[in-house]
Amino acid sequence: MLTLFIAEESFLSEITKRISQAINPILLENQCELVDVDYVTEKDQAYLRVYVDQVGGIDLEKIAALSELISKKLDVLDPDPLPNPYTLEVSSPGLERPIKTESELKKAVGKYLHVSLYQKLSGQKSFEGTLKHLDENELTLAVKQKTRVKEVAIPRRLVANLRFAVEF
């Protein structure tokens, strides 16, 4: 059976894991949390993307201050996990950020989510609704259908992607 959620940090490469461990104390000291770290190359340019958040949301001033602190920390790591030139981008994950770990999913109970599936369930490949319950086998969403709210049980094995969503 394919499992969407893997061990808490195993989705991180060794580089991003080391960077995460190095910068996490800075974020905690500033009442922020590390959401994700990506190290990618696009059009021959390397990017280190650090996504941070805090309770109540994060503003541009806080992101700029964290960017400076993170940059200084990365400059003194030895050995350098990123010996080649790269661009550091520190940002908020946004309102519709993906949910990548089991702990993020547990925190999402009561929140509005978008769930994409590998195959159709009740004729649909995606659902949006409030996460009411989860266990190791399924997620239960309260989904609006016209003027009613219906609970939909979604087997975890069908879940391809999860993200927060904005309710309209």
Over the stretch 44-53, which tens digit does the pLDDT of each residue have?
999 999 999 9
Instruction: Quote the Cα angle for 65-66-69, to 5°.
Output: 90
Q: How far apart are CA 136 and CA 124, in angstroms?
A: 22
pLDDT of residue 11: 35
- What stretch(es) of the chain map to CATH 2.30.30.180? 102-164
What's 158's DSSP letter?
G
Confidence tier at 118 by pLDDT (50, 70, 90): very high
* Closest listed residue to residue 112, CA positions, set 52, 162, 57: 162
Mean of pLDDT over the chain: 89
Strands 45-53 and 87-91: parallel
- What stretch(es) of the chain map to CATH 3.30.300.70? 14-91
Selecting from 3.30.300.70, 2.170.190.11, 3.40.50.300, 3.50.50.60, what CATH number does the domain 14-91 have? 3.30.300.70
CATH class, domain 102-164, is: mainly beta
Q: Taking the complete model, does pTM exceed 0.75, yes or no?
A: no
Over the stretch 85-101, which tens digit does the pLDDT of each residue have?
999 999 998 889 888 88
Handedness of CA 128, 51, 32, 18 (dihedral sign): positive
